[in-house]
Structure formats: C-alpha cells, structure tokens
Structure 1
Amino acid sequence: MTHAALLVCPTSGSGRARRLAGTVADRLRTAVDRLDPHVASSAEGTAALARRVVAEGVDVLVVLGGDGGAHLAVQACAGTATALAVVPAGTGDDLARTLGVRSVEDVVTALRAGARRPFDLGRLDDGRWFATVLCAGFDSAVNERANAMRWPAGPRRYDLAILAELARPRPARLVVETGDRTLELEALSVAVGNTAHYGGGIPVCPDARADDGLFDVTVVSAVPRRTLLRVLPTLRSGRHVDHPAVRTLRAAAVRLAGPDWTGYADGERLHRLPLGTTCVPGALSIVGSIPSV
C-alpha cells in the first residue's frame, strides 16, 4: 500500500501550480492507494507541511511546484524513508529535469513501476541540503536579479538577467578548496554541481551526476567582457567547459572563500562566502530515474 502526500506550491510558475492542482491530484490517485493533498500559502508553510507529512511517515511526498518548493521538501525528506517526487510547475524546474520528469504522467508511470532511486545531495556546513547546484559570483548575481523580476515567465527570465548582469561583471580573488587541492585565482563565478543544470536548463556542470558521490565544479576565470560574451552562448550546449577561461574539477567536498559573494543553492539565497559543502551519497530517495548525461 502506497501512501502519498501532494504538496501544492500555489504561487509557483505565476500560479501554474494552482491551476494544475486538481488534475495532478486526480492522476496521482490512479497510481497510489491513498493521496493526501496539502496547499501551502508561503515558503514557511511549505517547509512546515513537508516536515509534518514526512514525520507522519508517508511513503512518497509529491511536490507540485518549482525548484524552490522542491528545495524545501528536500530538507524534510533527506535521510528519511520518504521518497520525493516532483511535478514541474515552476520557472526553472531544474530538479525535475534531472529526474527526467516533464509532467505528472512521468510521475504516475514511475509510481506504478515502483521506481525508486538513491540520489546524492550536497550538505552545507550549516546543515542545509541542496539537490542541484550551489553557485556564487556572476551566477548568484543572475539568480538574485531573476528572482526579483516578475516578467517574463520561464527560463527566459534567466536569459534577460544574464544580459543585465553583463553590464557590470565583478571579478574577485576566489579560493576553492577540495581537501587535496587548493585553487586560487581571479574569478567571475563558481558553480558546484551535484547535478548538471541550473537557471532553467543551463548545463553549467555538464558532466555532473547525482549518483557518483562527487561534485563537479566549474570556475570561470576573470576575462574581459568581450571574451565573456563569446563564452556565454556556449553555456546552453555545455561547451563552455572547453574554453581556456573555464576550469573544472571534481571533489567530494568543496569550500569556497575569498570574495564578498552571496551563495545560492537550488536557486535559493544562502549567505555570503565562505561556504562549505559535502556530497552525501544516496541521502535522498527519489521517484523516477537519473538519466545518463
């Protein structure tokens, strides 16, 4: 018997989650024995509801929303027997993309098949978890700007935020420590990828996988704006990692220090550097698969 809870984040995707809630609930009921729907009115409410249903011992927590709602649900599900499923209804939907989920039909198929997979998570020094990418520098400035924008909807918002931030790139002396290696350089940005994508489908760490126990780290060195303009178009294809200005490495633990940059993880604001994180293999059980890169 499968007992699931559906957590609706009604403001996700400019109200898309609210509009889909009834249809999603009806479809999920065909794949589980019991479904308890919950609607959160705020981020705090989402976090509290997620903690409550996990404490009650549900088998699966299904989040209807975006990466922000999924991030809050991860905090509740990590290290527990409750599996997480995500029905994408947000702006970026990068975690759903990693899970190979495009709609509720994919979740229904996985639930019927009993598909559960262990999924690595990043654990920050303060105890918080993240599922996709931790970033700082130019990347986090783009996140900050995109989060403040009300138009347009979807990944296009991130594209416009990138263009706006290009007017004032701010390189700084960055220190990246991985335990057996220290990288110190003038940099524009750094991304620590548990998974490949951020910003609505940008493969910033194109080879990252959430089942190998390691982070992929992408560092963009300080370059003139004209060079940055040549690198950015290659981001969507993942070919940016071939540019001489881009450094990559792999590690099970990473510490970032140096600049007065604010970190973001799963698109959510953290705090200023320094930031440290460790990859915890199989910390989460997910409904679905982890597609090959």
Structure 2
Amino acid sequence: MAKHWRLILNGKSAGDDAVRDAVGATRAEGTRLDVRLTWERGDAQRYVDEAIADGVQCVIAGGGDGTLGEVAGALAEHHEDADTLPALAAMPLGTANDFATAATIPTGPHEALRLISTTKAHAIDLLRVEADGTRHWCINLASGGFGTEVTVETDDGLKKLLGGLAYLVTGIARMGRIDPIAAHVHGEGFDWRGALIALGLGNGRQAGGGQILCPDARIDDGLLDLTVIPELEGEMATTVATLMREGRSAALERVAERARMRAVMVEAEQPMALNLDGEPVQARRFDIACVPARLRMHLPEHCPLLAPARLALR
C-alpha cells in the first residue's frame, strides 16, 4: 500500500522553507503527503476528521506542544480503537517543544518525517481531563500554579527572541509574587490538602520551556505521574527561589510530593488554571484519568518516555 500522510501545520509555520523542502523531498520519495494549515480553534479537529475519512495512515502535528495536543485530542475524540485510527507523529516547530524534547523527537523537519518511515507506531497513553462538564485531552503534561502562570504570561515577542529561555526569564520576574493555590488533590492511595505553588500531572515529563515536573513519567504505562509543590516558607522558600533564579529546577525535588496512579481529582477553593499542553483551562474541579494505549505514535528508538520492557519488544 502506498504511503499516505497528512501534515496538519500551525499557520505560524506556513512560510518555513525547511518545512517546504522536507515536504517536497518526502513526496519525491513516493509518499503522498498532504498539508493543511490551521488558523483558528477547531481547524485541527476538522482536518483530523477529514484525514480519517480519507484513510490517511499517519497524521503529523507540525507546530509546538499546543498543536500536538490539539491533534492528539482530535484523534482521541473518535471512538475507534487506536489500531484503527491513523498513527500520530510530531514535527516540532514551537518555542519550547517540551514533549518532543523529552521524547527526543528530532526538531529538523526532514528528520521528523524520516522518523515516520523508519519506526513502527507505538501505543501511547493520553490524559483525559473533565472540567465543568467539558472533556479535554492531554498528551504531554497538565500543570497548574506557578508554571502555568509563567506560560500564560510569557510574551510572544520574548518567546521568539529567547525561545524556551523566555519561560525562565518570566519565571524569575514572578518569583517574588507567587500566589499559592488552596487545593485538595486526591486519588488512589494519595490524599493531599493544602496550598500549592505548582502542580504537575504527567503523561510526559516537562512543560513551560524545560521545567521537569514529572521526571519519571512514561507514556505507555497506563499511569499518570503526580507532582505537588507545596507553599514554601522561611529559609526553604529563599533557598528554592535562589536556585530557581539560577535555572536549577532540581531544587523542587527537596519539597515535592509525588505519586503514580490511574486517576486523580483536583479541587480548588477558587477557580484555577490547569495548563493542558500549553492551553489553559480554568475550573474549580478537575477529574483527570490516564487512558491506556489511546493512540499510536511514531517515536525514536530508545525513546526515554517509553517503558524499558516495552522498548525491548520493539
């Protein structure tokens, strides 16, 4: 069967010469590769629906974490099993590319497309997030608190100038005005109540331009990784703030509460923002579940996000 792929490309990358060259080279090798540009919310869902109707074998998300999350979510909304849906692939073109970085997906368009031809699609989990009666999907990481506010507030111009470093710069500017969030976080064998400054729910490991919130997360183990960073006081607050300014995010390990589970509920006293693959969703209650093997995705050999036992079977 001839290869038939569909690239769903963030409109911001429409004029990228490297993307154009990579698409041309892939077509010259005999692969039918269609391109669709997204300009507004809803475009990705429409293009995914179209790709499924057309019998496309692989849908490629060309953009940052937000584009990847939107395409993955659009695929997951279909009731079909992962084996009957098109495989997912990523062409990282965003500012931070947190998922691609953790998964070691190549950032060059040529290399990203070559990965599809040289690997088998691997079953991966997704996070399903229910908030105010609306269902959302997350492929990388759901984060709340300080990291979410930094991502939301980082200026687009600063991101273009500094890339992932822009998030750290914005974070440094915010260090003196972190407002803790009163919340109750509970799930299988875990019950935490208090004021938090950061929350990470990982399918993937990092967000916000390289902040590693869930360092041991795997995307094929059927479990989500939870990290809660409680409110810091006194000498500990001063120490962690200093280390964060130096870019040493490992400082959070001193105070982090961690757990691994299939589902968790987050309830806040006031509406809080949970950042899902770069897109903030606001609510007072979030029900988050890991849905095992929801999609198939092309990933590098020895991808750090895959469980070692699964890698041995490839």
Q: Aligned partner of 1:27: which letter?
A: A
Q: Pick one of 116, 122, 134 that aligns with 2:142.
A: 134
Q: Pick one of 154, 157, 160 that aligns with 2:166.
A: 157
Query: How far, CA to CA, are the matches of 2:144 and 2:269 in structure 1?
Result: 9
Q: CA deviation at 1:240?
A: 3.6
Q: Pick one of 234, 257, 282 that aligns with 1:271.
A: 282
Deviations 1:119-147, CA, capped at 9 Å, x for gaps: 1110112322101111111121112102x
Q: Pick one of 169, 174, 179 that aligns with 2:188.
A: 179
Q: Number of aligned pairs?
A: 287
Q: Aligned partner of 1:276: which letter?
A: D
Q: CA deviation at 1:235?
A: 6.8
Query: How far, CA to CA, are the matches of 2:273 and 2:70 in structure 1?
Result: 19
Q: CA deviation at 1:230?
A: 3.8
Where do 5+ consecutive residues of structure 1 fail to align?
none
Query: How far, CA to CA, are the matches of 1:184 and 1:32 in structure 2?
Result: 57
Deviations 1:211-241, CA, capped at 9 Å, x for gaps: 111111111111134133145268756x345
Query: How far, CA to CA, are the matches of 1:181 and 1:66 in structure 2?
Result: 32
230 and 5 in structure 1: CA distance in 2 versus 1, 3 angstrom threshold = same
Write the mapping of 1:40-51 to structure 2, written as runs, cut at 5 A: 40-51=38-49
Secondary structure in 1 aligned to 2:219? coil
**In the alignment, is the contact (CA less than 8 A) between 1:28 and 1:104 conserved in 2?**
no
TM-score normalised per structure 2: 0.83
Q: Aligned partner of 1:47: which letter?
A: Q
> Is 1:258 equivalent to 2:262 in the alignment?
no
Q: Aligned partner of 1:157: which letter?
A: A
Query: How far, CA to CA, are the matches of 2:29 and 2:100 in structure 1?
Result: 19
Q: CA deviation at 1:92?
A: 1.3
Secondary structure in 2 aligned to 1:127? strand
Q: Tell me whether 25-34 or 265-274 shows the greater mean CA deviation.
A: 25-34
**In the alignment, is the contact (CA less than 8 A) between 1:177 and 1:254 conserved in 2?**
yes
Q: CA deviation at 1:66?
A: 0.9
* 1:109 aligned partner: 114
Query: How far, CA to CA, are the matches of 2:28 and 2:115 in structure 1?
Result: 12
Q: CA deviation at 1:87?
A: 0.9
Aligned-residue CA RMSD (Å): 2.3
Q: Tell me whether 106-115 or 207-216 shows the greater mean CA deviation.
A: 106-115
**In the alignment, is the contact (CA less than 8 A) between 1:218 and 1:247 conserved in 2?**
yes
Deviations 1:137-167, CA, capped at 9 Å, x for gaps: 1121112102x44224210221122112213
Where do 5+ consecutive residues of structure 2 fail to align?
306-314
114 and 268 in structure 1: CA distance in 2 versus 1, 3 angstrom threshold = same
TM-score normalised per structure 1: 0.89
Secondary structure in 1 aligned to 2:275? strand
Q: Aligned partner of 2:97: which letter?
A: D
233 and 218 in structure 1: CA distance in 2 versus 1, 3 angstrom threshold = farther
